[in-house]
């Protein structure tokens, strides 16, 4: 029940209770006064009747007492007069006339007890007040009853019953009470009006306060309260207005600054909810900061991308999305993860973006591309052909040192678009936090690759072997497999540098590196071991496999013709190989054995592939 309704019912009930209470008290007072008045009249009449009967007895005309009763009955309002003889009088003078015998139970009780009684009865539609008063024999009063009656002191000589009609009295009572009741009604109405005016400022202030607080709960602090009075109620209104103004200014300033940082827009559901919008954006910013702290401690890019995938799926609740990493100096896109499609090889976009990154609109313009407000903005999006209904996509570039280093693609249904109305801004928060970490990891990886790769050939260098050989050999031993170790050296390479120059020598080294790259498997490792010497590591390869690959590389170089300023040039290659752990218990021991086999090939005519045998080792001790 509202306060206004409570005020209404309080005013009405208070007025009615006071009116009814005063009316009841007035009516009861009049009733009590009327009853007391008629009771006194009855006693006076009874006493006058007793005096009249006594005089008739003294004058000897007691036999005419019935005439006296008839005359008394003619008095207005007196409808019944009867005298009953008591037992002592009956014994002395006889029972008297028929009308002098008790007829009512009340009369019999009065003659028996000597106590007066009264009653109100309805007779023929009239209200009758009837009272029976006893006559007690006494010699001490002005009329000495014992002069005529031979009875003891205090005997009940008789009783008189008087009946009075109350109709006229009730009518008179009603006429007397009506003005009072009317005054009470007027008083109640005035009281109600006064209470209404008294409570009206309080009710109006409370109603406005309720509206202001309800709006504040939804983030709208623009509500104000009108001061309806200059008392404490008015002070409440003024203090509330001051508080709301301070909240509107402070929260609004915070929200504006947050929006200026991230260009965050409000959702449809909280467009007027400044507080909820601000709290939600602050929560997202805190979450993004915590996300950055987490990825900063991740080991490598794989862990970072796995965490980003988890945030998109669990925190944002997205079901369809993908992330592409820009590679090969911005020429290609590589899918890091794709969510929401049946096959792992499927993409939300035309696969052409993988081989030509410029086809991707977001990568090309280095800006967000959204079909939410611009349908068909990118003709490379293929999501609507997946049988999932009408979809929209949002592609957000990840900027690394001023260029696009990756692209996050978010795909939404119509319901998801309404649910994630600000997904572009909130996702951008997380991408802004993770971008520096991704860039740092890329830089570290680039530096690491630079330190472990030969800049001329792009092959791994000797440092790579020193850092990773322990894990590689441990894997070979754990799998109980073999590792083929090939050592390759260009024949008479010094003559090339001396006769043709170092540029041609570099050309020979680069050409051999390309031949090796084309010949080996993806799981094989090619290392420029030093100068014109190359090492090739072949996991899960026995001696026969090593020989096959060695011959393929040797023949490919032998058949290759290098074009030089001095004319065509052909070179040959000598290769020695050993198998770990078949030929030796240690990796570097087998490297030494491969090197021995290589020198054996050099010493026996060059341009050949030689497998290490125990006879080649001429040392007196084990390696």
Query: Which CATH number does the domain housing residue 30 bear?
Result: 3.30.450.20
Last residue of a domain, one of 293, 313, 328: 293
Out of 415, 444, 473, a domain closes at 444
Domain assignment present for residue 206? The answer is no
pLDDT score of 39 more than 70:
yes
User: Could you give the 3-state DSSP secondary structure of residue 185?
Assistant: helix
Output the pLDDT for position 143.
65
Model pLDDT, residue 573: 94
199, part of any domain: no
- Give the pLDDT band of residue 441 (cuts 50, 70, 90): confident
Tell me what the mean pLDDT of segment 210-216 comes to.
80
On whether both 466 and 611 belong to a single domain, the answer is yes
Same domain, 278 and 323: no
SS (H, E, C) 478-511: HCCCCEEEEEEEECCHHHHHHHCCHHHHHHHHHH
Query: How would residue 268 be classed by pLDDT, with cut points 50, 70 and 90?
Result: very low
Q: Tell me, yes or no, whether 19 and 162 share the same domain.
A: yes
Residue 94 sits in the same domain as residue 157: yes
Q: Is the pLDDT of residue 273 over 60?
A: no
Q: How far is CA 404 from CA 40, 366, 444, in A?
A: 117, 6, 18
Share of the chain above pLDDT 90, in %: 32
Q: Taking a C-beta distance cutoff of 8 angstroms, is the pair 616, 597 a contact?
A: yes
Contact 39, 118 (CB under 8 A): yes
My answer on whether 59 and 165 are in the same domain is: yes
Residues 153-164 have pLDDT tens digits of 878 888 888 888
State which of 143, 171, 199 marks the end of a domain. Answer: 171
pLDDT band at residue 255 using 50, 70 and 90 as cut-offs: low
307 and 242 in a common domain: no
**Is residue 18 located within the same domain as residue 162?**
yes
**Angle at the Cα of 64 from the Cα atoms of 130 and 114, rounded to 5 degrees:** 35
Residue 89 CA to residue 156 CA, distance in Å, equals 9
Mean pLDDT score of the chain: 83
Number of domains in the chain: 4
277 pLDDT tier (thresholds 50, 70, 90): low
Q: Residue 531 sits in a domain of what CATH number? A: 3.30.70.270
Q: Summarize pLDDT for 122-151 with one digit per residue, the tens.
A: 877 788 888 888 888 877 776 676 667 777
Q: What is the pLDDT of residue 271?
A: 44
- Residue 418 domain flag: yes
Neighbour tally for 488: CB within 10 Å:
26
Q: What is the mean pLDDT of residues 451-473?
A: 87
Whether pTM > 0.85 for this model: the answer is: no
Within this chain, do residues 345 and 420 fall inside the same structural domain, yes or no? yes
Largest distance between two CA atoms of the chain: 192
Q: Note whether residue 252 is domain-resident.
A: yes
Residues 11 and 102 in one domain: yes
pLDDT of 259: 58
User: Residue 346 domain-assigned?
Assistant: yes
3-state secondary structure 215-263: HHHCCCCCCCCCCCCCCHHHHHHHHHHHHHHHHHHHHHHHHHHHHHHHC
How far apart CA 1 and CA 27 sit, in angstroms, is: 36
pLDDT tens string 562-584: 998 888 999 999 999 999 999 99
Task: Work out the pLDDT band at 551, boundaries 50, 70, 90.
Answer: very high
Highest mean pLDDT: which range of 138-147, 459-468, 498-507: 498-507
Q: Does residue 163 share a domain with residue 141?
A: yes
pLDDT of 92 reads 76
Question: Which residue range(s) make up the domain with 247?
Answer: 219-293
Whole-number pLDDT of residue 464: 86
Average pLDDT over residues 268-285: 65
Q: What pLDDT score was predicted for residue 622?
A: 52
Task: Tell me if 62 is assigned to some domain.
Answer: yes
**Window from 111-125, 192-206, 257-271, 572-586 with minimum mean pLDDT:** 257-271
CA distances (Å), origin 158, targets 133, 230, 236, 383, 418: 9, 77, 80, 121, 104
Range 17-43 average pLDDT = 77
Q: Is the pLDDT reported for residue 587 higher than 90?
A: yes
Query: Is omega for the bond preceding 581 within 30 degrees of 0, making it cis?
Result: yes
210 domain-assigned:
no
128/226 same-domain check: no
- 305-315 residue pLDDT tens: 999 999 999 99
* Confidence grade of residue 80 (pLDDT, cut at 50, 70, 90): confident
Confidence of residue 413 (pLDDT cuts 50, 70, 90): very high
Inter-residue contact 176 to 170 (CB < 8 Å): no
Residue 66 located in a structural domain? yes
Whether the pLDDT of residue 261 is over 60: the answer is no
Q: What CA dihedral angle connects 94, 99, 100 and 102, to 10 degrees?
A: 120
Asked whether residue 114 falls in the same domain as residue 243, the answer is no
Once rounded to an integer, what is the mean pLDDT over residues 31-41?
Answer: 77
Q: 387: alpha, beta or left, given left = phi > 0 and alpha = psi -120 to 50?
A: left
């Amino acid at each position: 029940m509202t306060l206004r309704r409570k005020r209404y019912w309080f005013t009405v009930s208070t007025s009615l209770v006071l009116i009814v209470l005063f009316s009841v008290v007035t009516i009861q007072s009049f009733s009590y006064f009327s009853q007391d008045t008629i009771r006194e009249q009855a006693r006076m009449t009874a006493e006058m009747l007793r005096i009249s009967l006594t005089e008739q007895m003294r004058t000897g005309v007691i036999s005419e007492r019935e005439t006296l009763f008839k005359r008394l009955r003619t008095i207005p309002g007196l409808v019944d007069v009867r005298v009953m003889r008591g037992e002592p009088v009956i014994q002395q003078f006889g029972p008297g006339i028929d009308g002098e015998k008790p007829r009512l139970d009340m009369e019999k009780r009065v003659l028996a007890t000597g106590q007066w009684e009264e009653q109100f009865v309805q007779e023929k539609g009239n209200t009758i007040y009837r009272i029976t008063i006893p006559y007690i024999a006494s010699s001490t009063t002005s009329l000495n009853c014992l002069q005529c009656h031979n009875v003891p002191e205090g005997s009940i000589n008789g009783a008189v019953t008087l009946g009075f009609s109350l109709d006229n009295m009730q009518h008179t009572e009603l006429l007397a009470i009506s003005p009072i009741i009317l005054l009470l009604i007027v008083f109640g109405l005035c009281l109600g009006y006064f209470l209404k005016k008294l409570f009206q400022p309080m009710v109006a202030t409370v109603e406005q306060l309720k509206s202001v607080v309800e709006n504040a709960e939804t983030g709208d602090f623009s509500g104000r309260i009108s001061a309806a009075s200059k008392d404490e109620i008015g002070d409440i209104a003024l203090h509330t207005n001051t508080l709301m103004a301070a909240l509107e200014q402070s929260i609004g300033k915070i929200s504006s600054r947050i929006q200026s940082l991230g260009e965050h827009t409000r959702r449809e559901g909280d467009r007027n909810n400044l507080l909820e919008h601000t709290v939600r954006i602050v929560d997202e910013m805190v979450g993004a900061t915590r996300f950055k702290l987490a990825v900063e401690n991740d080991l490598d890019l794989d862990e970072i991308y796995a965490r980003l995938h988890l945030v998109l799926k669990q925190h944002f609740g997205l079901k369809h999305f993908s992330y592409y990493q820009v590679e090969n100096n911005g020429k290609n896109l590589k899918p890091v993860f794709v969510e929401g499609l049946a096959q792992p090889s499927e993409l939300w976009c035309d696969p052409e973006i993988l081989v030509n990154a410029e086809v991707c609109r977001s990568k090309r313009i280095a800006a967000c591309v959204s079909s939410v407000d611009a349908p068909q903005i990118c003709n490379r999006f293929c999501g609507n052909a997946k049988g999932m209904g009408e979809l929209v996509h949002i592609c957000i570039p990840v900027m690394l040192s001023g260029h696009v280093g990756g692209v996050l693609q978010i795909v939404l249904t119509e319901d998801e678009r309404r649910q994630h109305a600000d997904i572009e801004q909130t996702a951008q928060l997380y991408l802004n936090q993770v971008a520096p970490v991704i860039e740092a990891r890329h830089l570290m990886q680039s530096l690491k690759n630079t330190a472990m790769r030969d800049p001329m050939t792009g092959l791994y260098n000797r440092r790579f072997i020193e850092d990773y050989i322990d894990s590689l050999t441990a894997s070979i031993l754990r799998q109980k497999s073999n590792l083929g170790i090939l050592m390759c050296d260009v024949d008479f390479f010094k003559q090339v540098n001396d006769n043709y120059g170092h540029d041609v020598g570099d050309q020979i080294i680069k050409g051999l590196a390309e031949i090796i790259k084309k010949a080996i498997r993806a799981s094989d490792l090619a290392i420029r071991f030093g100068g014109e010497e190359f090492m090739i590591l072949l996991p899960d390869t026995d001696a026969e496999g090593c020989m096959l690959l060695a011959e393929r590389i040797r023949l490919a170089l032998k058949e290759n013709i290098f074009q030089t300023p001095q004319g065509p040039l052909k070179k040959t290659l000598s290769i020695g190989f050993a198998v770990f752990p078949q030929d030796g218990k240690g990796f570097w021991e087998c490297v030494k054995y491969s090197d021995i086999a290589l020198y054996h090939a050099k010493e026996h005519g060059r341009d050949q592939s030689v497998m290490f045998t125990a006879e080649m080792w001429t040392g007196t001790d084990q390696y």
